[in-house]
Structure 1
Amino acid sequence: MRQRAALVLAFLAVVLVLAGAVWRYGYVKGLDQLDARGQADLALAGDRLVGQLQRYRDLAVLMADHPQIKAQLAGTDARATARLLQEVADKTAALDVAVLDKSGRVRVAAQNEFPRDMSDQAHVQRALRGALGWGHGPGLPLTKRAFYHAAPVFDAAGQVQGAVVVITDLNGIDYNWRGTNPAAFFTDDQGIVYISNRSELLFWQRPEGMAGLVPPVGAPPEFSETYPGGHEVWHLGWGRYLPGDALHLTRELPVIGMRGEVLLDVSQVRAFALSQALAFAALCLAFGSLLFLAAERRRALAGANVQLEGRVAERTLALRETNAKLLREAAEREEAQKALRRAQDDLVQAGKLSALGQMSAGISHELNQPLMAIRSFAENAVQFMERGAPERATENLTRISDMARRMGRIIQNLRAFARQENGPQENVDLGAVLQSALDLTEGHIEDAGVRLDYVPPDRPLMVRGGEVRLGQVFVNLITNAVDAMAASEVKTLTVTVSDADPLTVNFRDTGPGIEMPDKVFDPFYTTKSVGSTGGMGLGLSISYGIVQSFGGQISGSNMSEGGALFSVTLERSLEGAKAA
């Protein structure tokens, strides 16, 4: 027993050492991957900061060549220059724009809040020597953090005439970064945090010759560092918005004289490495347990060899029972898998039935208007036959045939949807489809006493879409506009076609407008009362989906002078675009 216990303890010690090695290896490899991702994130953040600041450098260079600036340094009226600088500062979001003479004194500025003498500032001295200057520092009294760009102004002889200084408020630069991940900050040559997406780190400073940061006031918070696998990992106690253990990466930004730094949370890397180590330890323990059990079994068999014949039968019976149990379990599992497949098939079928149920409501809405038109044309045909006007009756019967064909196309679209197929895109004449919709709703417009204001396009306008579905969209918009003007004193429907890019059809009425424009395209949303014109609230929702399938857009808004405006934007077909 003592020998067995020593062997088990030795095995556990070996497993522990190997698991620790696996954890260390996984942790370092995870840090390598995190380092690569962090370097990319840090490079992206640095490039974004440099790009934002260089816009103001380019502004300083551009303003240095402005004739008004050169004229100001030559002694002209400063008021016009001040207005120019104020306008430039307002449009570019610069904190201030100032013009300096050769001695470094401010001749004119947009804000006039900064010291009049800037000759002692390094970036100004560099600009007065004929080179671009930049730097950062406080911009009191307007801001505690400012970045300066100075560009020299040359006269006709190439001599430095003065300088233009553009002052940028760094609060506006990093405002949109606040709270983003990972935690990033930028330090100057003195180790002071000047820009960061964590406002609590601003003006923290790196101790000389040491890692980490300390706040400008108060006791330094908890901090330590380790270097696993050559990576610098900080252990922080800096608040809940910063990771407790973070990989620290740096990147020099000589263009702006700063260093970019980022803190990447290593908790997930550590947890993944721990899970790998635990899995390895569990595997080793399982394998060791099997070996131990095998050894014990062999020892037991050797000690009971004389009883082997008597126990063979018992062991065989046990094995048979175990085998039968395994077979039963296998059969039960096979049945469970079959039941799972049947349940999945049932779920798919239920999804199809649900989709068809939703489509049935929409298609009944779309077929209702053609059926009503067929009924109206049929009744009119009977009256024309009774009046001895067979040509008019023939015309109505032809229209009934057209409506029937259109209904067939609608039903074909329903079958295509049920098979999850999209209807083919066609090149249709927008003017012809719009005229067909107006013809279909002509009786409804006249019965409602609405005056139609429409000028058809003077040439064919070919667009991408389907004739039936696009016509349904126009019919829905026209009938909705007519119904909306039921209680209006002035009833005018204005339909216009804009041949510009993009191609747009506008429907404007003189009704009360849209009560809730943001919900007008939601399914089952309607403002119509129950009655002859009451609807299910599906027309505009269906129209929205149709126009979206064509690659277009549909929108609704209220006009300032009253009424509603619905705009349908469509894509031109290839041949229509070439013709345009």
Structure 2
Amino acid sequence: MTSGLIRRVSVVLGFVAVVALAAAGVWRYGYFQALDQLSRQGASDLALASDRLTGQLQRYRELAVLVADHPQVGAVLAGEDVAAAEVLLLEIADKTAAEDIRLTDATGHVMASARPTPTGVDIAPLVQRATQGALGWGNGKTPAGARVFAYAAPVFNAQSKVQGAVVVTANLAGIEWDWVGSNPAVFFTDAQDRVFITNRSEIVFWERPENAPGLVPDTGPPLPFDSYQLGRHEVWQMGWGPYLPQNALHLVRALPVIGMTGEALVDVAPARRLATLQAAAVAGLCLAFGALLFLATERRRTLADANALLEQRVAERTAALSDTNAQLRREAEEREEAQTALARAQADLVQAGKLSALGQMSAGLSHELNQPLMAIQTYAENGKQFLAKSKPDRAGENLGRIADMAHRMGRIIKNLRAFARQESEPAVRVDLVAVVQSAVELTMPRIRREDVTLDLDLPDTPVWVSGGEVRLGQVFVNLISNAVDAMAGTDTRRLTLSVAGASVTIRDTGPGIAVPDRVFDPFYSTKEVGASEGMGLGLSISYGIVQSFGGEIRGGNSDQGAEFTVELLPWTERDAA
């Protein structure tokens, strides 16, 4: 195999690999975009199903209120016309498709009912709520297995006092009949996390495991199930039968008006097909273009070989073609010079980009070294005072802290040198609580000087996350310093810092963020010109540090001031391996 053939094969294989990577990137991007679209459509369908359910139950609530105002209801509570009232209640129940209508006194004793069969709902809590002048509701199951929903409306006398309650019970099978089998799969769980209403009858009465996602049948062994997070989406993997998707987005919507939670399972297969089609289209176009380019290159190479052979023969036979041959050589030299100039320009651009990045890092050097230097100065001055007061042990503590700060500055400079060499240390196991405590310790003198009240909420045990101790410390020192700067000139100065899991939240009582969407842009600053080191790079650098650890940092406004949240990846045994 000649060197030219090896080179061409290598180029082809490299091009195919690049196309495969591009197709994979397009697939991933298209899949996430399709998931976002499916999530929006599924949320709309879930809202529509929720509104339809509450609307269908609304008429039974209004029926309970209307029946409570009927004159015969007051007569029954006065001990009159019980039989006539039962006939009236049965007639109303038949005309409105209600399962049952019952009239009780204020103690919950049933005075009259449309049907003598059990309602399936414990009406005592409903009646108790109705006797307080409010509307009670609840759900349950009859002895025959029918699912029912009940409303209890208070009955007022002439003095506007509650003397009883009207309980209207509706059979949910009739309500959900017209949307059984529709897409997507929707179900509503009650306060016991039990599927009570759904358009997939096979999961009725399934229950949610304690402190876990998914559903398990009320009888029999659990069916195959798994769940995972895909970005901000929760995906369920299920083996629950042919009428439920195997992979579905799980969406949730609270329905406090009926005491239930609406949930939807949206099939992600269309999103995968769309992403596959997009990736295949991109790969096909790239391969077609590459094939055409390869054929053109091969044709050009063949023509060049033939031209060289022809030039050799013509040069041997006639001197008239020597000028043409010389012209061809000059064109080849000019082309080589152009290629050399292009390579030199590309190298210059790479060097310029590297110098620009180093310039940005040097601009942030003050943010990385200012706090340790201030701490060293403070500890040195305190050490001198302790020595003057004959307290060598306290002075020794300050000297130890100065050594720690010097070591810390050395590690910061090491990180900058690593960046200059295009090196990056891998994320290691870091105690998030210790990093936050160290940042608070560095900024505490300034917090006291600015008369800021600090509310610190840290767990007693370490919280291990994936990151770097020095760079995470820089992030929290910067956020705390920005919060102290923001509260300058305000009457109430309170800084709240809390750690919950792998998340750290910092709140202040300053004026807040004017444009939250731009807070992490380079050189964006709300500090006045001439303010203390307001270069507009601190939050941008912090954003890049957190992103490098796979975490996320968000900035926004609370009801009192600005709020920043840093979420990091918890350290796992897989990371250690």
TM-score (norm 2): 0.51
Q: Deviations over 1:89-124 (max 9, x none)?
A: 1111100000011111111111111279956x3222
Structure 1 SS opposite 2:48: helix
Write the mapping of 1:45-444 to structure 2, written as runs, cut at 5 A: 45-114=49-118, 121-138=124-141, 140-308=142-310
Contact 2:195 2:204 in 1 (8 A): yes
Distance of 1:167 and 1:117 partners within structure 2: 8
Structure 2 SS opposite 1:220: coil
Distance of 1:118 and 1:231 partners within structure 2: 38
Contact 2:121 2:139 in 1 (8 A): no
Q: Deviations over 1:399-419 (max 9, x none)?
A: xxxxxxxxxxxxxxxxxxxxx
Larger Rg: 1 or 2? 1
Aligned letter for 2:131? L
Contact 2:229 2:235 in 1 (8 A): yes
Structure 1 SS opposite 2:19: helix
Distance of 1:157 and 1:259 partners within structure 2: 38
Contact 1:153 1:160 in 2 (8 A): yes
Contact 1:113 1:142 in 2 (8 A): no
Q: Deviations over 1:457-507 (max 9, x none)?
A: xxxxxxxxxxxxxxxxxxxxxxxxxxxxxxxxxxxxxxxxxxxxxxxxxxx
Contact 1:182 1:264 in 2 (8 A): yes
Write the mapping of 1:514-533 to structure 2, written as runs, cut at 5 A: none
Distance of 2:50 and 2:187 partners within structure 1: 10
Write the mapping of 1:423-572 to structure 2, written as runs, cut at 5 A: none
Distance of 1:137 and 1:25 partners within structure 2: 46
Structure 2 SS opposite 1:158: coil
User: Residues 310 and 34 from structure 1, CA distance in 2 versus in 1: closer, same or farther, beyond 3 angstroms?
Assistant: farther
Distance of 1:8 and 1:115 partners within structure 2: 75
Contact 1:104 1:117 in 2 (8 A): no
The count of residues paired between Structure 1 and Structure 2 equals 310
Structure 1 SS opposite 2:140: strand
Distance of 1:311 and 1:199 partners within structure 2: 87
User: Residues 311 and 298 from structure 1, CA distance in 2 versus in 1: closer, same or farther, beyond 3 angstroms?
Assistant: farther
Aligned letter for 1:69? V
Q: Which of 30, 43, 56 is residue 47 of structure 2 equivalent to? A: 43
Structure 1 SS opposite 2:261: strand
Distance of 2:19 and 2:227 partners within structure 1: 29
Q: Which residue of 2 aligns with 1:9?
A: 13
In the TM superposition, residue 142 of structure 1 has moved relative to its aligned partner by 4.7
Contact 2:120 2:143 in 1 (8 A): no
User: Residues 118 and 207 from structure 1, CA distance in 2 versus in 1: closer, same or farther, beyond 3 angstroms?
Assistant: closer
User: Residues 308 and 87 from structure 1, CA distance in 2 versus in 1: closer, same or farther, beyond 3 angstroms?
Assistant: farther
User: Residues 67 and 143 from structure 1, CA distance in 2 versus in 1: closer, same or farther, beyond 3 angstroms?
Assistant: farther
Distance of 2:16 and 2:226 partners within structure 1: 32
Distance of 1:67 and 1:169 partners within structure 2: 26
Contact 1:118 1:124 in 2 (8 A): no
Aligned letter for 1:19? A
Distance of 1:299 and 1:116 partners within structure 2: 87
Aligned letter for 1:129? Q
Please say if 1:20 is aligned against 2:28. Answer: no
Distance of 2:50 and 2:175 partners within structure 1: 12
Distance of 1:52 and 1:215 partners within structure 2: 27
Distance of 1:228 and 1:294 partners within structure 2: 43
Distance of 1:266 and 1:6 partners within structure 2: 38
Q: Deviations over 1:6-47 (max 9, x none)?
A: 333322222111101111111121222222222222111111
Q: Which residue of 1 aligns with 2:429?
A: none
Distance of 1:117 and 1:300 partners within structure 2: 88
Q: Which residue of 1 aligns with 2:326?
A: none
Q: Deviations over 1:367-426 (max 9, x none)?
A: xxxxxxxxxxxxxxxxxxxxxxxxxxxxxxxxxxxxxxxxxxxxxxxxxxxxxxxxxxxx
Q: Deviations over 1:263-308 (max 9, x none)?
A: 2222222112101101101111122223333333333333333334
Aligned letter for 1:196? T
Structure 2 SS opposite 1:174: helix
User: Residues 290 and 191 from structure 1, CA distance in 2 versus in 1: closer, same or farther, beyond 3 angstroms?
Assistant: same
Contact 1:222 1:238 in 2 (8 A): yes
Distance of 1:46 and 1:171 partners within structure 2: 16
Distance of 2:233 and 2:297 partners within structure 1: 45
User: Residues 98 and 308 from structure 1, CA distance in 2 versus in 1: closer, same or farther, beyond 3 angstroms?
Assistant: farther
Distance of 1:103 and 1:286 partners within structure 2: 82
In the TM superposition, residue 311 of structure 1 has moved relative to its aligned partner by 12
User: Residues 115 and 36 from structure 1, CA distance in 2 versus in 1: closer, same or farther, beyond 3 angstroms?
Assistant: closer
Please, what is the CA RMSD of the aligned residues?
A: 2.3
User: Residues 32 and 172 from structure 1, CA distance in 2 versus in 1: closer, same or farther, beyond 3 angstroms?
Assistant: same
Distance of 2:239 and 2:182 partners within structure 1: 19
Q: Deviations over 1:300-354 (max 9, x none)?
A: 3333333347999xxxxxxxxxxxxxxxxxxxxxxxxxxxxxxxxxxxxxxxxxx
User: Residues 111 and 142 from structure 1, CA distance in 2 versus in 1: closer, same or farther, beyond 3 angstroms?
Assistant: farther
Distance of 2:44 and 2:121 partners within structure 1: 42
Contact 2:122 2:140 in 1 (8 A): no
Aligned letter for 2:203? L
Distance of 2:115 and 2:172 partners within structure 1: 17
Aligned letter for 1:223? F
Q: Deviations over 1:65-89 (max 9, x none)?
A: 1110011011113101111111111
User: Residues 190 and 311 from structure 1, CA distance in 2 versus in 1: closer, same or farther, beyond 3 angstroms?
Assistant: farther
Distance of 1:218 and 1:117 partners within structure 2: 25
Contact 1:106 1:116 in 2 (8 A): no
Please say if 1:33 is aligned against 2:37. Answer: yes
Q: Which residue of 2 aligns with 1:431?
A: none
Structure 1 SS opposite 2:146: strand
Q: Deviations over 1:239-264 (max 9, x none)?
A: 11112222222211111111112222
